[in-house]
């Protein structure tokens, strides 16, 4: 199947758009008339520019307000169509999209519209072009693909066919299975878009909030399964109107678009094995069973600070890399690495972003398969020099300039700690605090990049996204999107900052880009952990007494429990399954922090209701520390 994207989907001038689209691997484009209106070249030159990039123009659009017009508008519509057909000949494309009429002048009637299309089909044939009819969700008389199909069927002309657009069908909740009975040769073109579920005017929703398949909440996979079941093997084209995308990087948005189409086709191929779906072969979405390690890059002095902090959190310095300046810190099932090398990836990350997390190691079923899937989806493999006898650990570049490594149990990778590290069998004495594993990891990025991260993770790994929540920071909103796997062994929280006045925004602007902002460790006994931490000299983030008044009002907790929570600065939440306890460290540097959580009886959330209290406390601390010039 050929892949295409509408030029309106991305930002930039026309040559920039073409270069970005071609580089992302698309076979061609849908061209919008506005593209030439803004561009100086003749249609023939525009066509040549596209072909010079090795691409085709699959579709010209839009042609509006055609069918069902009274005279004299009807005759004018045919004149207008003829001029467009001539332009298409010059441009070198043979298909035009005619969207259903929205004019108050238009007259209804399936047969009237069918007659108009039959006549237009004759005119199109003379110019050697084809016309495709699309039902806009807000069309005046036709707003349902089933009615558009009936018009095309009655027009009964070889140059007249149907154009399906997932947004228009799904936004009106039209049963996608009605597509299965349309003959494939009458489906001239298929447009794909997703969107977040927002209850608003359809036209406004469509023009501003569409996003790539997989980024929103619409059942685009079901739509595509129905299309594929007809035998349609033509072009799949992204038609995405989105305000952020139009202001974003043409390169990044094009890469996301190609990834979303590949991912969609891969899903459909697995769900409808009998349909023809030309998509590169790749392993299925990868199961992750946990985080094997988190690696910090730091200079010597920061490394000593982080080490001290980890010790307070109950970690033991448990070893070092055989050939690199990397130390291993352990507690329970958690491995933290601190890298102070003065070359290699960690060092270059340090030079650009300063101290922070530069690498995440995931435990997967098959590390090589993980890289293969990531590659098929446009991911970039990563490797760097290793010492003699050391493991070549499969890795890819993440979205925000970080690296992800993959460890599996089926190869030598299972012995990473024995092979690459000198592990201390009896690490120096420490006071463990009962941390068992990494519960979740939070990454912060500019809001515009959030969907890129989301698509990256959900297309490669077997994960689902939780509903997006808004967190209120005193400096503005932070949009938070959790992705997690079914068993909860992989939980990433993606936080999109809209303003640098928020803690998250401050953090990424000081770090020059997106990064891991907090690590949350799990304990099985929050109060025992809190007491052990205090003995180690740990000072938790101090929570306002108002929070506990509010908590009491919300949950009517027992007095002794409330007192204990307050005494240890522990936050509390409850859902239908169970209870949740949270404890935070202060911020380090420009806003990095640790969290400790206890989930009881399958509590599934992240304490979203507590976020504003936590953020307010962190902001107070940040303004104090910046005054003290820390
Ligand atoms: Mg459309
Ligand atoms: Mg958290």
Do residues 390 and 519 share a domain? no
Maximum average pLDDT range among 42-46, 93-97, 429-433: 93-97
Q: pLDDT-derived band of residue 401, with 50, 70 and 90 as boundaries?
A: confident
Residues 6+ apart with CB under 8 A from 622: 503, 506, 587, 591
The share of the chain scoring above pLDDT 70, in percent, equals: 99
| Distance from C-alpha of 139 to C-alpha of 510, rounded to nearest angstrom | 48
Distance 582 CA to ligand 1 centre (A): 47
- pLDDT, tens digit, 9 for 90 and up, residues 193-243: 999 998 889 999 999 999 999 999 999 999 999 999 999 999 999 999 998
**Whose structure tokens read 């970690």?**
315
265 and 365 in a single domain? The answer is no
578 inside domain: yes
Q: Which ligand is nearest to the CA of 136?
A: 1
> Please, are residues 592 and 517 in contact by the beta-carbon 8 Å criterion?
yes
Q: State whether 401 and 466 are in the same domain.
A: no
Query: What is the rounded average pLDDT of the residues 164-184?
Result: 97
Question: Please, which pLDDT band fits residue 35 given cuts at 50, 70 and 90?
Answer: confident
Does any domain span residue 277? no
Cα(289) to ligand 2 centroid in Å equals 19
* Nearest-angstrom CA–CA distance, 235 and 493: 35
Assigned domain for 280 exists: no
Q: What is the DSSP letter of 324?
A: S
Give me the number of domains the chain comprises. 3
Question: Which residues are close to ligand 2, an ion, with C-beta < 5 A?
Answer: 520, 595
* pLDDT attached to residue 470: 87
Neighbours of ion ligand 1 (CB under 5 A): 165, 191, 239
411/439 same-domain check: no
428 belongs to a structural domain: no
Given a cut of 60, is residue 626 above it in pLDDT?
no
Phi, psi of 438 (to 5 degrees): -80, 120
- CATH code: domain of residue 55: 3.20.20.150
Q: What is the pLDDT of residue 628?
A: 45
- Dump pLDDT digits (tens) for 596-609: 999 999 999 999 99
CATH number of 336's domain: 3.10.180.10
Same domain flag for 122 and 229: yes
Query: Residue 565's beta-bridge partner residues?
Result: none
Q: Are both 261 and 298 inside the same structural domain?
A: no
My answer on whether 261 and 322 are in the same domain is no
pLDDT category of residue 399 using cuts at 50, 70 and 90: confident
Q: How far is the CA of 522 from the centre of ligand 1 (A)?
A: 47
Residue 351 scores a pLDDT above 60: yes
Q: Quick check: is 12 in a domain? A: yes
Say yes or no: 475 and 607 in one domain.
yes
Distance from the alpha carbon of residue 71 to the mean position of ligand 2, in angstroms: 64
User: In terms of Cα–Cα distance, which of 180, 99, 95 is closest to 135?
Assistant: 99
What is the predicted pLDDT for the residue at 630? 36
| Residues above pLDDT 90, as percent of the chain | 80
Given a cut of 80, is residue 511 above it in pLDDT?
no
Measured in Å, residue 30 CA sits from the centre of ligand 1 at 10
Q: What is the mean pLDDT of residues 67-94?
A: 97
Q: Which one has a higher pLDDT value, 469 or 99?
A: 99
Of 178-182, 224-228, 555-559, the range with the lowest mean pLDDT is: 555-559
pLDDT at 168 over 70: yes
Asked which of 236, 271, 306 is the last residue of a domain, the reply is 271
Does the pLDDT at position 475 exceed 50?
yes
pLDDT at 468: 86
Residue where a domain stops, chosen among 271, 303, 325? 271
- Residue 412 belongs to what H/E stretch? none
Domain C-terminal end among 397, 423, 449: 423
Ligand index nearest the alpha carbon of residue 518: 2
Ligand 2 mean position, distance from CA 610 (Å):
10
If asked whether residues 55 and 98 sit together in one domain, one would say yes
Per-residue burial over 545-554, b = 16 or more CB atoms within 10 Å of its CB, e = otherwise:
eebbeebeee
Which pLDDT value is given to residue 428?
Answer: 76
Show the domain range for 600. 435-628
**Overall average pLDDT of the 43-56 stretch:** 96
Residue 625 is predicted with a pLDDT of 64
How many angstroms is it from 583 CA to the middle of ligand 2?
10
State residue 141's pLDDT score.
Answer: 98
Give 355-376 as a DSSP string: SEEEEEEEEES-HHHHHHHHHH
Ligand showing the shortest atom-to-Cα distance for residue 138: 1
Closest CA to 403 of 439, 446, 374, 438: 374
CA of 191 to the centre of ligand 1 (A): 6
- pLDDT value of position 277: 84
Same domain assignment for residues 317 and 355: yes
pLDDT at residue 59, rounded to an integer: 98
Instruction: Tell me, yes or no, whether 278 lies in a domain.
Output: no
Whether residue 462 sits in one domain with residue 602: yes
497 and 381 within one domain: no
């Amino acid at each position: 199947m050929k892949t295409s994207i509408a030029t309106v989907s991305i930002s930039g001038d026309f040559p920039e758009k073409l270069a970005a689209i071609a580089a992302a691997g698309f076979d061609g484009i849908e061209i919008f008339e506005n593209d030439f209106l803004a561009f100086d070249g003749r249609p023939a030159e525009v066509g040549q520019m596209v072909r010079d990039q090795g691409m085709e123009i699959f579709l010209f659009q839009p042609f509006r307000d055609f069918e069902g017009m009274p005279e004299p508008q009807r005759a004018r519509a045919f004149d207008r169509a003829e001029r467009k057909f001539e332009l298409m000949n010059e441009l070198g494309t043979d298909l035009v999209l005619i969207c259903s009429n929205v004019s108050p002048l238009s007259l209804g009637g399936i047969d009237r519209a069918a007659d108009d299309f039959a006549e237009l089909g004759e005119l199109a044939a003379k110019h050697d072009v084809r016309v495709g009819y699309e039902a806009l969700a807000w069309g005046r008389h036709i707003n349902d693909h089933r009615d558009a199909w009936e018009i095309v069927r009655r027009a009964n002309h070889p140059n007249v066919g149907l154009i399906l657009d997932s947004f228009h069908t799904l936004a009106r909740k039209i049963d996608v299975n009605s597509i299965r009975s349309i003959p494939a040769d009458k489906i001239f073109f298929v447009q794909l878009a997703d969107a977040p579920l927002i209850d608003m005017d359809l036209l406004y929703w469509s023009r501003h909030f569409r996003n790539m398949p997989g980024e929103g909440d619409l059942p685009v996979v079901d739509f595509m399964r129905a299309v594929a079941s007809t035998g349609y093997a033509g072009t799949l084209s992204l038609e995405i109107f989105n305000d952020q995308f139009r202001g974003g990087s043409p390169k990044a948005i094009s890469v996301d678009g190609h990834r979303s189409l590949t991912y969609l086709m891969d899903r459909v191929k697995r769900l409808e094995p009998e349909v023809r779906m030309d998509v590169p072969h790749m392993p299925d979405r990868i199961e992750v069973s946990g985080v094997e390690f988190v690696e910090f890059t730091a200079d010597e002095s920061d490394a000593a600070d982080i080490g001290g902090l980890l010790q307070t959190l109950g970690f033991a310095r448990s070893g070092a890399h055989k050939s690199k300046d990397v130390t291993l810190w352990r507690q329970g099932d958690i491995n933290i690495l601190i890298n102070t090398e003065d070359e290699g990836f960690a060092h270059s990350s340090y030079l650009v972003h300063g101290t922070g997390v530069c690498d995440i190691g995931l435990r997967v079923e098959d590390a090589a398969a993980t890289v293969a899937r990531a590659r098929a989806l446009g991911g970039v493999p990563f490797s760097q020099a290793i010492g003699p006898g050391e493991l070549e650990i499969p890795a890819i570049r993440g979205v925000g300039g970080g690296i992800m490594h993959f460890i599996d149990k089926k190869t030598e990778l299972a012995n990473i700690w024995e092979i690459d590290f000198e592990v201390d069998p009896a690490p120096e004495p420490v006071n463990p605090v009962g941390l068992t594993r990494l519960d979740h990891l939070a990454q912060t990025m500019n809001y515009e990049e959030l969907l890129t991260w989301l698509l990256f993770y959900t297309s490669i790994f077997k994960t689902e996204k939780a509903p997006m929540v808004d967190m209120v920071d005193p400096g503005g909103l932070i949009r938070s999107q959790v992705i997690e796997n079914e068993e909860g062994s992989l939980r990433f929280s993606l936080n999109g900052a809209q303003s640098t006045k928020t803690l998250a925004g401050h953090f990424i602007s000081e770090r020059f880009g997106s990064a891991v902002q907090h690590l949350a460790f799990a304990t099985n006994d929050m109060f025992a952990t809190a007491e052990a931490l205090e003995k180690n000299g740990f000072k938790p983030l101090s929570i306002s007494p108002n929070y506990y008044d509010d908590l009491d009002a919300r949950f009517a907790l027992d007095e002794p429990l409330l007192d204990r929570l307050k005494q240890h600065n522990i936050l509390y939440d409850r859902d239908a399954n169970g209870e949740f306890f949270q404890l935070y460290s202060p911020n380090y540097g420009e806003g990095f922090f640790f969290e400790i959580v206890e989930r009881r009886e399958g509590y599934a959330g992240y304490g979203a209701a507590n976020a504003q209290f936590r953020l307010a406390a962190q902001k107070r601390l940040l303004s104090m520390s910046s005054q003290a010039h820390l």
